[in-house]
Amino acid sequence: MNDEEHQVVISLEKLKQSFRSGRTRSSDWRKTQLRALLRLVQENEGFIFRALDEDLGKDHVEAYRDEVGILVKSLNLTLSNLDQWMATTKTRLPLVFFPAVGEVLPEPLGVVLILSSWNYPISLALDPLIGAIAAGNAVVLKPSELAPACSALLANTIPSYMDDKAVMVVEGGASVGKQLLDQKWDKIFFTGSPRVGRIVMSAAAKHLTPVTLELGGKCPVIVDSRLSPSQMQVAVKRIVGGKWGFCSGQACIGVDYLLVEDKFAPSLIELMKKTIKKFHGDNPKEPKNMARIVNKHHFERLSGLLQDPVVAASIVHGGSLNEEKMTIEPTILLDPPLDAEIMTEEIFGPLLPIITLKSIDDSTQFVNSRPKPLALYAFTNDSALKKRVLAETSSGSVTFNDVAIQFACDVLPFGGVGQSGFGKYHGKYSFDAFSHGKAVLSRTFYLEIEPRYPPWNAFKLAF
Ligand code: NAD
């Protein structure tokens, strides 16, 4: 064991002792920590904006909407509901148990590990932390090394606001992640790629540690040409806003590709071009109001997707790259080959393929021929199509007539299915993700039913 690993083990032991001492269990401790986290976010808002700008070139309005605002909302919701969530729930028991009381008691899991991703480096680190603290756990949080300013901000502020005997931030990349995964945890909450998700799951299997995997994938958008012109305007605004206005497409629930009827594609593209110009200007080398690509590796990965000559030939808008500023112009591709990487892998960037179908009714079959998405979107008023989308496809969530905003809707569970992950969080679901619902059955000493005991023969005839 090297020095670094030794340090991780010592710190983890301290957290385990804190948890065993009962420090994190009281409602007072949980609320104090959540209020401290709220102060951290509010008092450091300016620093958060600066760090997000440094790591991703995110505008502060986008940063408020998707990171600070989301967290403030989530913290207030949790603080207002915590007593209710912590309360035991009485259950109605079948008569055969009479007289008895049945309850479900939520208890914390213990010491939990949160590994988070770089694209929403503040909210994706702190939102699960809210659930873990609310549920009364001790926590180790490892932010992503690919957003170093945000990671440093969390590492520097969390210990001065929160209880450092129970909440710890460990910075680092894959090797630190690996060291952490070598330890025994009571829960691992992972946000990231399916590739690393598999590593997390096999490490967790060694200790039978429960995991939540918040993964990614390709999120399709079905666009029904039967919308009225004014509805289509709204749909296009929401699609363009949801693609390029969410971290430049570097979003797990961002729009990955569109499915439309072939005869409708040209007019949709024209509408989208106009909206792109309005939202992001018309300087291909310096698109406005867009985050930049996180790093050189991802910039090269995305530009590589366009290098295939057949894919390049399918570009109908954009395609300009600015390596110095690490930006890519909003780019639309019409019917790139379905076996090209752009259609087989999650894009996670500002490139948008439009796939045309003979009939919009074929869209569900198209979705079903690929791994289950984290989010599925459909712009339509047709109730038969809506029914088919719900009944015939499987995805983490379905949103009709909008994109991405389901993330902010705390009363709905957020999570994937199949290759987009499993487990869910947000609001009460976050509390549940970090709790064990302990079944408690309390009997009295009255009313003995003798046939339950041997010798069985004595009661043979009664049955
Ligand atoms: P990633 O899997 O590369 O990294 C995620 C985290 O795991 C980081 O903290 C990283 O340091 C750590 N890590 C990397 N390799 C590791 C290893 N070998 N052992 C232990 N830890 C390791 O993912 P990313 O690039 O940060 O994020 C992009 C992916 O995350 C996309 O697929 C995206 O769709 C997905 N994502 C999902 C959600 C969601 O809520 N479902 C949100 C954001 C991103």
Residue 62 among the catalytic residues: no
Ligand 1 center–CA 456 separation, angstroms: 58
Single pTM value for the model: 0.96
Where are the strands (E) in 31-127, listed by range?
89-91, 100-108, 111-115
**What pLDDT, on the 0 to 100 scale, is given for residue 449?**
85
Residue 45 among the catalytic residues: no
Torsion-angle region of 270 (φ positive above 0: left; ψ -120 to 50: alpha; else: beta): alpha
**What pLDDT, on the 0 to 100 scale, is given for residue 450?**
87
106 Cβ partners below 8 Å, 6+ apart? 85, 86, 88, 135, 431, 432, 435, 436, 437, 438
Given a cut of 80, whether residue 35 has pLDDT beyond it is yes
- Rounded CA-CA distance 56/74 in Å is 23
Determine which one of 67, 150, 252, 329 is catalytic.
Answer: 252
* pLDDT, tens digit (0-9, with 9 covering 90-100), for 207-266: 999 999 999 999 999 999 999 999 999 999 999 999 999 999 999 999 999 999 999 999
* pLDDT, tens digit (0-9, with 9 covering 90-100), for 132-169: 999 999 999 999 999 999 999 999 999 999 999 999 99
Determine the atom of ligand 1 nearest the C-alpha atom of 420: 41
- Rounded CA-CA distance 73/61 in Å is 16
Where are the strands (E) in 33-110, listed by range?
89-91, 100-108
Directed axis angle between helix 148-161 and helix 123-134, to 10°? Answer: 30
Mean pLDDT of 169-181: 97
Task: State the Cα angle at 423 between 389 and 103, rounded to 5°.
Answer: 115
Determine the atom of ligand 1 nearest the C-alpha atom of 252: 34
- Rounded CA-CA distance 428/83 in Å is 12
- Rounded CA-CA distance 293/344 in Å is 20
Q: Three-class SS of residue 168?
A: strand
Determine which one of 62, 67, 214, 346 is catalytic.
Answer: 214
pLDDT band at 463 (very low <50, low <70, confident <90, very high): very low
Mean pLDDT of 277-306: 96
Ligand 1 center–CA 20 separation, angstroms: 30
Determine the atom of ligand 1 nearest the C-alpha atom of 120: 43
Determine the atom of ligand 1 nearest the C-alpha atom of 172: 11
Pocket perturbation via mutation, ligand 1, pick of 56, 127, 141, 191 by most ligand atoms within 8 A of CB: 191
From the CB of 239, is ligand 1 less than 6 Å away?
Answer: no
Task: State the Cα angle at 414 between 356 and 328, rounded to 5°.
Answer: 50
* pLDDT, tens digit (0-9, with 9 covering 90-100), for 403-451: 999 999 999 999 999 999 999 999 999 999 999 999 999 999 988 888 8
Ligand 1 center–CA 47 separation, angstroms: 24
From the CB of 295, is ligand 1 less than 6 Å away?
Answer: no
Q: Three-class SS of residue 224?
A: coil
pLDDT band at 340 (very low <50, low <70, confident <90, very high): very high
Nearest residue (CA) to ligand 1, atom 39: 214
* pLDDT, tens digit (0-9, with 9 covering 90-100), for 353-411: 999 999 999 999 999 999 999 999 999 999 999 999 999 999 999 999 999 999 999 99
* pLDDT, tens digit (0-9, with 9 covering 90-100), for 61-96: 999 999 999 999 999 999 999 999 999 999 999 999
